[in-house]
Amino acid sequence: MRIGLDFDNTIAIYDRVFHRYAQELGMPASVPATKHAVRAWFWDQPLGNTPWTELQGLVYGTKLHEAELGPGLEDFLRACQARGVAVSVISHKTRYPALGPKHDLRAAAQAFLEARGIVGELGVEPERVFFNDTREEKVARVASEGCVAFVDDLPGVFTEAGFPRQAQRLLLDRAGEVADVPPGVIPCADFAAVAMALWGAEG
């Protein structure tokens, strides 16, 4: 049995990192420390999407080591190991940011996975980490890895045409802020809820 995990905002949580570096670009500290709130503030500014896109390049490229782990992720990965459940990391991540300096985003993510013991001690094999250029390629990988379940923070991943029909769809919605949860998708506030969805109370 194998399950798949998304990387950005599922394994690595950036809320506080975005909030910290957005203030260096003029965002007031009073904006709530969530990625959505920070993004909304940038989108309301006259320069629109560009500073937000550059901030993403900075955070995903050089500040990734400041990110936190998804809530309950370490315990969840230990539970997977105890059950003999294999885990693949399947991410939609281009090698370089869309704008700004050419940081290697995949190398940064790989280093994060190793530094936090996800690849290694917590059981994910290095050859089961996949960075994909498109969302289409990502869901094809969920299928080719034979995942019985996939965890992602974006509902659109589960409704992508190539998403494997039989795989369980677990939406990591930490703030309970996803308004339109697609049919068949189970919202989970943290990885304890993911474990509950997969294995029930005995998990």
Residues binding Mg ion: number (CB under 5 A): 4
Side chain identity at residue 157, one-letter code: V
8 binds Mg ion (CB under 5 A): yes
Stretch that binds Mg ion, among 19-27, 80-88, 129-137, 148-156 (CB under 5 A): 148-156
Dihedral angle sign, alpha carbons of residues 128, 131, 133, 134: positive
Bridge partners (DSSP) listed for residue 151: 5, 170
Stretch that binds Mg ion, among 16-24, 30-38, 39-47, 147-155 (CB under 5 A): 147-155
Identify the H or E element spanning 112. Answer: helix 105-115
6 binds Mg ion (CB under 5 A): yes
Q: Which of 200, 154, 105, 183 is nearest to 5 (CA)?
A: 154
Residue 46 CB, shortest distance to Mg ion, in Å, is: 28
54 binds Mg ion (CB under 5 A): no
Q: Which residues contact 47 (CB under 8 A, 6 or more apart)?
A: none
- How does strand 168-172 pair with strand 185-188? parallel
Per-residue contact flags (x/-) with Mg ion for residues 90 to 119, judged by CB under 5 A: ------------------------------
9 binds Mg ion (CB under 5 A): yes
Residue 161 CB, shortest distance to Mg ion, in Å, is: 19
| Chain centroid to CA 30 | 25
149 to 178, contacts with Mg ion by CB under 5 A?
A: 153
The residues binding Mg ion (CB under 5 A) are: 6, 8-9, 153
